[in-house]
Amino acid sequence: MPRRHDRGVHAETKLARARLASGFTQRDLVEATGIARSTYWRLERGRIPNPPLRYLTNCALVLGVPADELIEEEWRTTWLQLTPDAPAEPPDLHELRHRSLERGGWL
């Protein structure tokens, strides 16, 4: 069951706003997600510039919100930079392995 809000916490990120809206404390999220307390604190304050999706997904599951609602716009730009010449589909891994083996490497 959610506890009272943490005192003196400023909602600096989407994660913090979602947590506060849900009534969970930071301690609740740390315990439920298994994220280290110091890491969670930095995540909630936007101090991790490239957070693992695993952290955000675990938080979203606990909060009962879509993970996409917790992703900050600046994180999106560091995760994936699409350009007009980027391939529309992922590479064929079978073909990549074949070419790598022909060159004597492993993939």
Q: Could you tell me the CATH number of the domain that includes residue 23?
A: 1.10.260.40
Q: Do the domain assignments include residue 24?
A: yes
Q: How far is CA 6 from CA 67, 81, 90, 93, 100, in A?
A: 22, 36, 43, 48, 53
- Average model confidence (pLDDT) across the chain: 80
| CA triple 77-79-82, angle to 5 deg | 65
98 part of a folded domain = no
pTM over cut 0.95? no
How many domains does the chain divide into? 1
Q: What is the pLDDT of residues 12-24, one digit of tens each?
A: 899 999 999 999 9
Average pLDDT over residues 81-107: 62
